[in-house]
């Protein structure tokens, strides 16, 4: 079996990637410091606890498993936190990734799949974004991810590191079998926050801004089912295994949903009222982030078939009702 080192494999997207890798015949080796991840989420392969900044520990793990590739998910990923604590974002996301990339190159592990983000693009006046849209991030989260993309390019030129970089739009939903799902503490993402509000686990959802230049005044995002997203990673891994060139792919669906539309869809799927109030804008939020998925569909053969809003909410709701990992 081929080992794949999955950093952040105990987190939301990483744990779904581990399941997809196992189903595709690989052995996912999770490397995670459990700061935001959950040991209970590591269900599909071995677990090695460690920090991205710990080069000796990384060297040990590379030597033990001799992975054929790295999938690098481990990162801090909240826009609000990145605005108030930028140092943590630069240190963890950039310095940590640099240490990991150096360890991978030193171990001769030259295939690398990286989780980047549409937050690297910033604000672009309501255009549908593609991979050539200029990257002008509005916050330290996006800036830290753009920096890692640049590091990967430089290491590609110097050491032959091959990278597939995925720029995610808004990831949502959960494993339909509810073995893993989204579980952040604290939770800040729209859909899980809304489901917690519906279920009385928090008082109400606050809509962050109703005066944006959009039809209903709330921000528009492009939501992708987490299972579609991780399928793209397996395709990206195969791309690298076939010796193809380093490449950037946006992972979006081409359609956007406003915050109010997501609330309406949740009411319909759960058949429950969504308690919410209207609040001021959150710093660092772009008005609209919507991507085409033309390149990923054409070149990788990716099709985001499960990324329907109703299905994403239904899968997230099913997972929500399992009570997560706290049981
Ligand atoms: N949002 C909101 N209330 C919340 C959480 C999010 O109105 O409690 C909005 C947020 O301003 C953005 C959208 O929902 O327009 C998606 O935010 P999320 O934090 O889920 O993802 P992001 O777009 O920051 O990656």
ipTM confidence: 0.97
Asked if 160 and 304 count as a contact pair (C-beta separation under 8 A), the reply is no
pTM: 0.96
Catalytic residue among 141, 168, 208, 212: 141
Query: Is 182 within a domain?
Result: no
> Considering only CA atoms, which residue is closest to atom 13 of ligand 1?
190
Per-residue DSSP letters for 2-26? Answer: EEEEEETTTSHHHHHHHHHHHHTTE
Question: At 221, which helix (H) or strand (E)?
Answer: strand 220-221
Is residue 239 domain-shared with residue 275, that is, in the same domain? no
121 is catalytic: no
| Ligand 1 atom closest to Cα of residue 170 | 25
> Considering only CA atoms, which residue is closest to atom 4 of ligand 1?
190
d(CA 137, CA 117): 10
How far is CA 213 from each of CA 68, 115, 166, 216, 305, rounded to the nearest angstrom?
46, 29, 28, 8, 29
Is residue 318 domain-shared with residue 216, that is, in the same domain? yes
Is residue 231 domain-shared with residue 83, that is, in the same domain? yes
Is residue 40 domain-shared with residue 127, that is, in the same domain? yes
Is residue 141 domain-shared with residue 53, that is, in the same domain? yes
pLDDT in tens, 34-90: 999 999 999 999 999 999 999 999 999 999 999 999 999 999 998 888 999 999 999
Q: Residue 80 sits in which domain range?
A: 2-172+224-251
Per-residue DSSP letters for 283-315? Answer: TT--SEE-B--HHIIIII----TT--HHHHHHH
How far is CA 261 from each of CA 67, 182, 282, rounded to the nearest angstrom?
43, 21, 18
Domain count, the chain: 2
Cβ 194 under 6 angstroms from ligand 1: no
pLDDT in tens, 277-327: 999 999 878 899 899 889 999 999 999 999 999 999 999 999 999 877 554
Cβ 189 under 6 angstroms from ligand 1: yes
Is residue 216 domain-shared with residue 228, that is, in the same domain? no
Q: How confident is the model at residue 126 (pLDDT cuts 50, 70, 90)?
A: low
- Look at residue 327 in the predicted model and tell me its pLDDT: 42
Query: Is 183 within a domain?
Result: no
Token pair 């956007």: residue: 256
């Amino acid at each position: 079996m081929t080992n794949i080192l999955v950093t952040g494999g105990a987190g939301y997207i990483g744990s779904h990637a581990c399941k997809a890798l196992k189903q595709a015949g690989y052995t996912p080796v999770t490397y995670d410091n459990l700061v935001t991840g959950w040991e209970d989420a590591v269900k599909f392969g071995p677990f090695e606890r460690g920090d991205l900044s710990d080069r000796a520990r990384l060297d040990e793990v590379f030597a033990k498993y001799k992975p054929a590739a790295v999938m690098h998910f481990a990162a801090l990923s909240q826009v609000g936190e990145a605005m108030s604590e930028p140092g943590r974002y630069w240190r963890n996301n950039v310095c940590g990734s640099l240490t990991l990339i150096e360890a991978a190159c030193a171990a001769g592990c030259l295939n690398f799949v990286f989780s980047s983000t549409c937050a690297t693009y910033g604000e672009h006046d309501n255009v549908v974004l593609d991979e050539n849209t200029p990257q002008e991030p509005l916050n330290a989260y996006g800036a830290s991810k753009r920096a890692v993309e640049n590091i990967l390019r430089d290491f590609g030129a110097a050491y032959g590191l091959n990278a597939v970089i995925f720029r995610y739009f808004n990831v949502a939903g959960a494993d339909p079998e509810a073995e893993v799902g989204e579980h952040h503490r604290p939770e800040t993402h729209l859909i899980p926050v809304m489901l917690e509000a519906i279920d009385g686990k928090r008082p109400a959802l606050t809509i962050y801004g109703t005066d944006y230049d959009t039809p209903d005044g709330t921000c528009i995002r492009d939501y992708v089912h987490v299972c579609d997203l991780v399928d793209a990673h397996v395709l990206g891994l195969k791309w690298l295994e076939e010796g193809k060139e380093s490449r950037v792919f946006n992972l979006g669906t081409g359609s956007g949903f406003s915050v109010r539309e997501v609330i309406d869809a949740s009411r319909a799927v759960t058949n429950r009222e969504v308690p919410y109030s209207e609040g001021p804008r959150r710093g660092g939020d772009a008005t609209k982030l919507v991507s085409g998925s033309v390149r990923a569909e054409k070149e990788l053969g990716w099709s985001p078939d499960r990324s329907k809003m109703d299905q994403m909410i239904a899968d997230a709701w099913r997972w929500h009702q399992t009570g997560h990992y706290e049981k």
